[in-house]
């Protein structure tokens, strides 16, 4: 994800990194070629004039804009829900850390339990991105835990289950302590719900038919547009068509990128930073040394 300070209007005109422009340059070059051919042939294909004017493009453009707005709203809804779920993971992790320290100050190994809490967001991040989690978990798990968890397909769920087992193993508990265990179990359940919510988003993409229909409609509109404008705009046709195509194709590209909030794309969630912040917050509650805060790489980027 690109993380940058606030910029003025003039700087935003020339932003390159983090925009989708670099990913759609081939499409814009293609539109420039089509528009130039329309000007050179005066709107003819194989010698036949294409009888188009601006009226159908006006009507189709309104419908296309509504459809693009729907697609982008659906994509951002997924992104926003994903960010709320990771915020819930932060809240539940803090609560679980604080409650274990307060309710069972001597009855449990707080170092090992703290490491398990911290391991959950890292395991979830790698599961969602389909990357190797051991790079982050090696420093948090002991030898036996590494062996046990290495074979798990759903590692965050396995870690949460191990946390619940550790709480169940506490001995010499009276009725009051059992009530406290129930409170802790509710926090683990909150973590499980957030993990499950992230898994649901990752495994349920926006229906493919929507993407195909939008993709075909955008490109059909952009390819036919020069032949509808050439009679009225003449040599300005390539400039206008490339600009209009940039708007429509970029909106489609943004929607596709934001719809996968857990990827490593520039506009996805900064899961590395979020996971590190959760770790720092939990370690601070336990009174342990904090790792360095992640700093954005130039130009203001971390994943």
Residue 176 lies in a domain: yes
d(CA 20, CA 13): 13
Residue 1 lies in a domain: no
Residue 294 lies in a domain: no
Residue 12 lies in a domain: no
Residue 206 lies in a domain: yes
Domain containing 174 equals 29-286
At 176 the pLDDT is 61
At 171 the pLDDT is 61
Residue 298 lies in a domain: no
Q: Note the Cα 40 to chain centre separation in Å.
A: 44
Residue 13 lies in a domain: no
At 130 the pLDDT is 92
Find tokens 């449990």 and name the residue.
Answer: 108
Q: What is the domain count for the chain?
A: 1
Cα separation values, 213 from 21, 141, 208, 217, 228, Å: 22, 47, 9, 6, 22
Residue 95 lies in a domain: yes
Phi and psi, residue 19, nearest 5°:
-85, 165
Helices 271-286 and 110-129: crossing angle, nearest 10°?
170
Tens place of pLDDT per residue across the chain (303 aa): 555 556 666 676 667 776 788 889 999 999 999 999 989 888 777 777 777 777 788 888 888 888 888 889 999 999 999 999 999 999 999 999 999 999 888 878 889 999 999 999 999 999 999 998 888 899 898 888 888 888 888 999 999 999 999 888 876 566 667 788 888 999 999 999 999 999 999 999 888 888 898 899 999 999 989 988 888 888 889 999 999 999 999 999 999 889 999 998 888 899 999 999 999 999 999 999 999 887 766 555 555
Residue 49 DSSP symbol: E
**What proportions of the chain, in percent to the nearest 5, are helix, strand and coil?**
70, 5, 25
């Amino acid at each position: 994800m690109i993380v940058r300070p606030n910029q003025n209007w003039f700087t935003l005109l020339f932003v390159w990194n983090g925009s989708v422009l670099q990913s759609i340059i081939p499409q814009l070059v293609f539109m420039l070629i089509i528009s130039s051919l329309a000007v050179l042939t005066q709107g003819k294909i194989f010698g036949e004039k294409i009888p188009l004017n601006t009226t159908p493009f006006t009507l189709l453009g309104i419908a296309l804009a509504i459809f693009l707005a729907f697609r982008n709203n659906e994509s951002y809804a997924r992104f926003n829900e994903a960010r709320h779920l990771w915020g819930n993971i932060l809240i539940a992790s803090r609560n679980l850390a604080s409650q274990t320290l307060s309710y069972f100050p001597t009855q449990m190994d707080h170092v090992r339990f703290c490491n398990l809490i911290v391991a959950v967001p890292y395991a979830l991040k790698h599961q969602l991105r389909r990357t190797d989690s051991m790079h982050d978990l090696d420093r948090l798990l002991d030898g036996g835990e590494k062996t046990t968890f290495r074979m798990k397909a759903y590692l965050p769920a396995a870690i949460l289950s191990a946390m619940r087992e550790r709480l169940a193993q506490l001995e010499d508990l009276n009725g009051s302590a059992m009530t406290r265990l129930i409170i802790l179990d509710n926090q683990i359940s909150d973590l499980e719900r957030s993990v499950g919510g992230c898994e649901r988003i990752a495994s349920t993409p926006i229906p493919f038919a929507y993407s195909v229909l939008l993709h075909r409609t955008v490109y059909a509109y952009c390819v036919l547009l020069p032949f509808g404008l050439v009679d009225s705009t003449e040599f300005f046709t390539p400039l206008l068509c490339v600009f209009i195509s940039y708007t429509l194709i970029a909106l489609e590209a943004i929607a596709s990128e934001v719809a996968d909030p857990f990827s490593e794309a520039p506009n996805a969630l900064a899961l590395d930073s979020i996971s590190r912040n959760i770790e720092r917050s939990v370690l601070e509650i336990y009174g342990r040394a904090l790792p360095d805060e992640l700093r954005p790489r130039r130009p203001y980027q971390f994943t």
